[in-house]
Amino acid sequence: MRVAIVGCGSRHQMYRNALTGPYAHLHDLVALCDTNAVRLALSLEAAGGKGVRGYDAAEYGRMLAEREPDTVIVCTPDFTHADYIVTALEAGCNVICEKPLATTAAQLQRILEAQVRTQKKVTVTFNYRYTPARTQIKEMLSLGAIGEVTAVMFRWSLDRVHGGDYFRRWHRQKDNSGGLLVHKSSHHFDLLNWWLDSHAVDVTATTRRVFYTPEAARSLGLEGHGDRCAACPVIDRCDFALRLDEDENLRRLYKDAEDADGYFRDRCVFDPEIGIEDTYLAHIRYASGAVCNYSLVAYAPWEGFEVTFVGTEGELTHRHVEVHGIFGGTRPAGERESMTTTLHRAGYPAEVVEVASGDGDHGGGDPLILADLFAREKAPDPLGRSADHRAGMFSILTGLAAERSAASGKTTRVTFDGLSE
């Protein structure tokens, strides 16, 4: 397979390293493409030559024509996905796309029409499906461990290290990311759709920004902060500071690349110009009849999630404490990653289930999804972990419906063609 990658930020490294490392004997990485010449040059250097050519984003069409990739991997900012995907499909390429597939219903419609017209394949890399512990939950539910699932309580917590990072990057504006209900929650809504083998039909939601605000900065003694961490007068007393010089990868990818496009990776998390919320609650009704109470908080004291499934024959609860990533700020000393699963059947004592585990990032999910994408021999997939464009669309439509509901104060119905109140 001939592969091109568009977008040379942090996330693309997983795919590039797989294609130039363990899967290099099976596939050819033929092109890299980015808007930023510095990041593009860094990625070309890391790729080690081997016939890989670099292209500016303005040359994307020429890249497709000259390098003739079979597959394009899209790792660009969310709002640009649809343009790159549609162009690749029209050029006869299959597409692998980072979540979220797009940020608006109109973009989803464009992708759907192009996929139908070209009949090429679109895969959305929902790596959380591949985490062994999440797969184990899917298997237990599919086997009827708690009977018919009737209700779900799903709480996702981003701590002030990981959560705060969304408020300093390009994600901080909805025009770029769709907001956290699209960018981040698309992972969670996809898990729910997959676990329940269903999709949302209506959503009622409330959203607020209560922590990453100028008022919060003042209450924390950070009045007079700058608009970015570099040269900020209060950086030495700020628990949210990101010092790009202290991390070699971030310095090379972002600080050294600022002059190429003016993008600052270390914007202040308390900037009054931030356009996304940090607190989300939603009530979701599914086509299966199940209902879900969902919450996402981006300033929690811990990182991870807890989900409880209520069924006609019992309850299943899974909790994952996550500790990962370099995002600036500090975490409490001694935190450790942990996962627990408890099954409580009606009429029986609760039992602790031995949690399936794996090595690698995202709870062991990243190596497994890479193998599914690039290995010669595909592992059996009886639980349908591989996600197509329709799965990507339904995950985003849930978030868009929640955004619409929060803005209107009304329940929003989800349809594949769009949204209605």
Q: Are 64 and 93 in contact (CB under 8 A)?
A: yes
Contacts (Cβ under 8 Å, ≥6 apart) of 67: 2, 4, 30, 31, 53
User: Does a structural domain hold residue 377?
Assistant: no
Tell me, yes or no, whether 280 and 413 share the same domain. Answer: yes
Q: What H or E segment, with its residue span, contains residue 164? A: helix 162-165
- 3-state SS, residue 398: helix
Tell me, yes or no, whether 246 and 342 share the same domain. Answer: no
Listed residues 203, 231, 261: the one ending a domain: 261
Q: Are 177 and 170 in contact (CB under 8 A)?
A: yes
Residue of 233, 237, 216 lying closest to 224 (CA atoms)? 233
> pLDDT 10s per residue in the chain (421 long)?
999 999 999 899 999 999 999 999 999 999 999 999 999 999 999 998 778 999 999 999 999 999 999 999 999 999 999 999 999 999 999 999 999 999 999 999 999 999 999 999 999 999 999 999 999 999 999 999 999 999 999 999 999 999 999 999 999 999 999 999 999 999 999 999 999 999 999 999 999 999 999 999 999 999 999 999 998 999 999 999 999 999 898 999 999 999 999 999 999 999 999 999 999 999 999 999 999 999 999 999 999 999 999 999 999 999 999 887 656 666 776 678 899 999 999 999 999 999 998 887 777 889 999 999 999 888 888 999 999 999 999 999 999 999 999 999 999 999 766 544 4
Q: Please report the pLDDT score of residue 365 as a whole number.
A: 82
- Domain total for the chain? 3
Tell me, yes or no, whether 347 and 289 share the same domain. Answer: yes
Distance CA 203, CA 401 (A): 6
User: Does a structural domain hold residue 219?
Assistant: yes
Listed residues 75, 92, 124: the one ending a domain: 124
Domain hosting 43: range is 2-124
User: Does a structural domain hold residue 73?
Assistant: yes
Listed residues 80, 99, 124: the one ending a domain: 124
User: Does a structural domain hold residue 373?
Assistant: no
Tell me whether strands 53-56 and 28-34 are parallel, antiparallel or unpaired.
parallel
Q: Please report the pLDDT score of residue 416 as a whole number.
A: 64
Tell me, yes or no, whether 94 and 80 share the same domain. Answer: yes
Query: CA triplet 257, 263, 265: central angle to 5 degrees?
Result: 85
Q: Please report the pLDDT score of residue 361 as a whole number.
A: 74
Tell me, yes or no, whether 205 and 312 share the same domain. Answer: yes
User: Does a structural domain hold residue 266?
Assistant: no
**Residue 373 structure tokens:** 């994408």
Distance CA 403, CA 419 (A): 11
Q: Please report the pLDDT score of residue 378 as a whole number.
A: 83
Q: Please report the pLDDT score of residue 297 as a whole number.
A: 98
Distance CA 73, CA 378 (A): 19
Tell me, yes or no, whether 113 and 234 share the same domain. Answer: no
Tell me, yes or no, whether 105 and 62 share the same domain. Answer: yes
Tell me, yes or no, whether 134 and 112 share the same domain. Answer: no
Tell me, yes or no, whether 119 and 132 share the same domain. Answer: no
User: Does a structural domain hold residue 233?
Assistant: yes
Tell me, yes or no, whether 86 and 106 share the same domain. Answer: yes
* Residues counted in the chain: 421
Q: Please report the pLDDT score of residue 334 as a whole number.
A: 66
User: Does a structural domain hold residue 303?
Assistant: yes
Q: Are 170 and 263 in contact (CB under 8 A)?
A: yes
Looking at residue 210, the DSSP 8-state letter turns out to be: -
Q: Please report the pLDDT score of residue 421 as a whole number.
A: 47
Q: Please report the pLDDT score of residue 418 as a whole number.
A: 53
Tell me, yes or no, whether 297 and 413 share the same domain. Answer: yes
Q: Domain containing 199 — which CATH number? A: 3.30.360.10
User: Does a structural domain hold residue 97?
Assistant: yes
Q: Please report the pLDDT score of residue 420 as a whole number.
A: 47
Distance CA 136, CA 140 (A): 6
Tell me, yes or no, whether 257 and 320 share the same domain. Answer: no
